[in-house]
Chain A
């Protein structure tokens, strides 16, 4: 057994530096999750018992209700909208096709702050209502946004694009011949959709749903602000309130269980989706007129208006006319931008190493596994990663301090914990998959034979990289950088937990101001985050309209 292991190790040591670096990166990416899993077995039973007797059921119940509500919400918004823009024709369809993605730019916590400001007692809506009716405080009932239902609505409004995006792609990929076969068998447009198109798109819809649910589980800002106790707020409170990292980690491990379930569901449905896609010519859209067209427009306008335009307009108004912009705003923006740039650079560099290792050693299972493993962080809520990093870095610090004290008799204090290094590491774990996905798909488009052809024409491997890969990969690398950059800018819980003392970013400042009930002053920081967040959304919507044209061109040629 030992020998087998040793020879296995040896055969992989011979792989060369690229593969080794890739494996080290993968191991590092696993560290936070490993720490959390380890606490399940090492943590004290007392903490578990305490959790069981008190808050666990509260967290569990709220998290489940939240997931059910958001799941329901994103389905009834995302699927019909996707069906309408992909299978029907009505005024404004082209605009809605890309515009329906806009709410992706809106972090859930920001939309939550905005609607609270809009709808609370002193907000414009209720003020208007009172002015209009003459009612006083207590005379009337008004919907309280800061509730579980409110959180469900907020999350639904910004997460439905996942379902919309994936089911739209599925509808477009369906061969129209299948629907035509249905029509020859007597299924009209409506029954055809229910009996054929919808079941065929189901795997894609489920994939979109699981992505939305993962984001729901990971959400911290919204539920925290609305006072809904879920796992993420529980972890945060246990950690800050009681200073109990072990208990926080144990709570995180329960959350991790949920996430793993969702990942399994997502992987499964993705596999199914592959069997269902059939390439065909593009659809003959059903032309909607009058009442039906109006209904279709409303179905698309509703999520767009409430998920993007109303909150964005409110943020803009506050920022321009009412907010007090502090002196520190420039510093905040600078902090956010350089932190996000640094994290994006690291993530892109790691992704390049991993993607090239996988390409060069595609026959080595261990290398392939490393690359897969390195990308699992995307599914983990920032809270889990933050707690994992915190515990791991504290342990490393502890060890190093002891070592240095023993050798040099100097007390150096904390080395890694509470530094930007910890924060950057957590970001890399969380967002590596994002950059990896983009770079891998870019690299896959360069077929191995393209390298071989260049080599046979007399180019050395390094020259092949420069002459072929650099020009072909430039776009993917830039896009990957940009997406990680924006994701880091929006990230809240990991930043809150791991940031160095007195170090603030736009997201953290918005959170702090909102927590102090200074919603209007939080607007400028929020608006800046939304504006920067628009960039990848615009890129995404451009790429889907381009691929649309591509499909059309292809069918026109035929």
Chain B
């Protein structure tokens, strides 16, 4: 949490708009990344997150706004610093390892300023860090996907860039490899005290890697917060839908704290901004609805999935509303059975009826 209050702003984007051929792909985005912080741009494909990353790297000019790093201007509508002068590192989706160079030459490629001895020392240090010591003289094609991934990371980090950009770096790996590598990469970044910005469409990756997540939709940042806040307090219908599973429960505002829903009156801890008797939709996550045999509120099981530690039931309320419900795996009920349910909302997340 304390990382959020970063001591120094490393990278700053102010009202940045990017596009080509007159078509704007990223609109008016503002973002800051603190020193040593790991940020994430999360969004569906085509939301402009990769374009924004390319603009930060200097491969796309900005149409409006400014990108600065350590108070130094990198991009503005009239000026684009060349990529090679930015001191920004990047790990690409397709890794882009140099096929004609050995692992050591790949990692040492950006270390021209150093002497041979220093280069070798840095390469050895990095290979140790990524757990691939002894691979110096092999060629990229002889390594596995996960190993190539780590080489690409080491190559980008070798010259100690001021910011490291990661463009969907795990998308080419299978699920188990990804699960192993994601926390590993975070550990490596923390050890090198590297400020990093990750782009992904996978929320699990974002949650596992980032101190701060910016959700992008149609070229704009719709919410920028910690992963926990994004999940539990989405400030926007899109974020609520895109991040995590969940349903919307219809309700009518009673007063500035209370809302009448088909599961009874729900109370917010803080006053909300909706008018009395307005129709709203309340976000209900699967972990907000618990199975409780003692509860008077009953719902019929429509379908169920066994997930090892728990069951995920799909239940139908009397109002015909369908919701997800978690239950411990000891509570094995048949489809069609009526079970007791209890709503356990920490925060009341509501959106105006009809909002999209």
Contacts and interface: CB of A to CB of B under 8 A. Distances in A.
Most chain B C-beta atoms within 10 Å of own C-beta, residue among A447, A456, A458, A472 = A456
A454 B84 CA distance: 8
Interface stretch (B36-44, B91-99, B213-221): B91-99
A457 B155 contact: yes
Contact of B88 (A456, A459, A471): A456
Interface in A315-340: none
B92 A449 contact: yes
A456 B100 contact: no
B20 A453 contact: no
A472 to B, nearest CB: 6
A468 B96 CA distance: 12
Interface in A432-478: 447, 449-450, 452-460, 468, 471-472
A450 B83 contact: no
Contact of B92 (A452, A458, A459): A452
B83 A452 contact: yes
* Chain B residues touching A, majority SS: loop
Given A457-B110, A457-B159, A449 B84 contact: no
A363 B92 contact: no
A472 B100 contact: yes
B96 A452 contact: yes
B98 A456 contact: no
A458 B88 contact: no
B61 to A, nearest CB: 13
Given A363-B20, A363-B21, A472-B100, A456 B86 contact: yes
B112 interface: yes
Contacts of A450: 96-98
Contacts of B96: 447, 449-450, 452-453
A447 B94 contact: yes
Q: How large is the interface on A (under 10, 10 to 19, 20 to 34, 35 or more residues)?
A: 10 to 19
A458 B158 CA distance: 12
B282 interface: no
B24 to A, nearest CB: 15
Tell me if A's interface is mostly helix, strand, loop or mixed: helix
A19 to B, nearest CB: 15
Most interface-central of B86, B90, B96, B158 (chain A CB within 10 A) = B96
Nearest to A450: B96
B286 interface: no
Interface string B67-96: 000000000000000111110111011111
Contacts of B21: 363
B94 A455 contact: no
Interface string B1-45: 000000000000000000011000000000000000000000000
B306 interface: no
Contacts of B93: 449
B123 interface: no
Contacts of B98: 450, 453-454, 468
B89 A456 contact: yes
Contact of B57 (A363, A452, A459, A468): A452
Contacts of A468: 98, 100
A458 B159 contact: yes
Given A449-B96, A471-B100, A456 B20 contact: no
B90 A453 contact: yes
B138 to A, nearest CB: 16
A460 B57 CA distance: 14
A290 B113 CA distance: 69
A472 B139 CA distance: 14
A460 B155 CA distance: 17
Given A363-B21, A458-B159, A472-B99, A453 B92 contact: yes
A456 B94 contact: no
Contacts of B156: 453, 456-457
B109 interface: yes
Nearest to A451: B96
A97 to B, nearest CB: 25
B90 A452 contact: yes
Contacts of A452: 57, 59, 83, 90, 92, 96
Contacts of A472: 99-100
Contact of B90 (A447, A456, A460): A456
Q: Identify the interface centre among B84, B88, B93, B159: most chain A CB within 10 Å of its CB.
A: B84
B94 A449 contact: yes
A449 B169 CA distance: 13
A455 B57 CA distance: 10
B86 to A, nearest CB: 7
Given A363-B20, A363-B21, A447-B94, A455 B83 contact: yes
Contacts of A459: 84
Contacts of B59: 452
Interface string A188-199: 000000000000
Interface in B136-183: 155-156, 158-159, 161
A557 to B, nearest CB: 10
Interface of B: 20-21, 57, 59, 82-86, 88-90, 92-100, 109-110, 112, 155-156, 158-159, 161
* In the A-B complex, the 3 residue pairs with the closest CB atoms: A457-B110, A449-B96, A449-B92
7 contacts: A447-B96, A452-B90, A455-B83, A455-B84, A456-B88, A457-B109, A459-B84
Given A449-B94, A456-B57, A472-B99, 11 more contacts: A449-B92, A452-B83, A452-B92, A453-B155, A454-B98, A454-B109, A455-B84, A457-B156, A458-B110, A459-B84, A460-B84
